[in-house]
Amino acid sequence: MSKILNIGSLNLDYVYAVPHFVEPGETLLSGRRGVFPGGKGLNQTVAAARAGAKVYHGGAVGVDGDMLLDLLRSAGADVSAVARVDVPTGHAIIQVSPQGENAIIILGGANRAVSPETVEKALDKVEKGDILLLQNEINGLDPIIRRAAEKGLRILFNPAPMEAAVKELPLHLLDTLVVNEGEGKALAGDMDALRAAYPDQKILLTKGSRGASLWTGAELLFQPAFPVKTVDTTAAGDCFLGYYAAALAEDLPYADALRLATAASALAVQRQGAAPSIPVRSEVEAFLKGTY
């Protein structure tokens, strides 16, 4: 079985319940605050670990990051390549209205202070043929991608949050480009345009309630979504990618990997929260057998 390394974001989400979003010049009393683990990197690592893969997480936290490391450890991930840095852990300030709408401010913090030394320590955990997960929430992506390609890693990159600078990255070195429809459109357009723009890469296009498509270079596969009652889609995409990477690490066929990942995300969207919504492998297998 291949190993998985995720050099990714680790966030603390500070969620405030408010009667309405703060207006300019206004001081507003919140009725409730919660602190939750977050970050696309964290969610994807939790998903891959709960799927049963051997997962290492690389990245950085500040002195306030113990909650995040504890969660990763409890999921079964190795956090020995996560550095402690002298800046605050990446975090989000989230206002939530009575209608469920949110307004968010994000501080990159430690996620934007990942040093080359931390990257090398993380890359030392894996070898040729292993899998590297990346998202667009940390610094230094260009040299990380180039160094990982030199090592012969299979790089799966999810360019979220999408920005113009993504197009300047060495995307031709990726094994798989993982995008939702909005990200795909921003990069090139529809699936056909993406395939033309990145002819040597596999392209995994997630389409929410309409399933997912994978272009392998030889064939185009489609996996429909499972019909479930959606409660919270916060971590659905991260859950999907973590499980998909775990399936690749097991050398499952692409069609089986898509099916496993889609089932995992179907369970996740039926639950509240991000990391807490991500199922363990036995739940996903029971769901696929119709016994969940």
Active site residues: 238
What are the angstrom distances between the C-alpha of 260 and each of 7, 62, 66, 118, 264? 23, 35, 31, 32, 6
The answer to whether the CB of 55 falls within 8 A of the CB of 76 is yes
CA atoms of 21 and 23, how far apart (whole Å): 6
> Is the omega angle on the peptide bond into residue 88 within 30 degrees of 0, that is, cis?
no
CA distance 183 to 190: 10
Run of H or E residues at 16 = strand 11-17
Tokens 């690749």 label which residue? 248
d(CA 53, CA 61): 23
**Over the range 196-211, which residues count as b (16 or more CB within 10 Å of their CB) and which as e?**
ebbeebbbbbbbeeee
CB 192 within 8 A of CB 173: no
**Residue 249: DSSP 8-state:** H
H or E segment to which residue 4 belongs: strand 4-7
Q: How far apart are CA 280 and CA 272, in angstroms?
A: 15
Q: Which two tokens stand for residue 169?
A: 């990255």
Q: In this structure, what DSSP letter does residue 190 have?
A: S
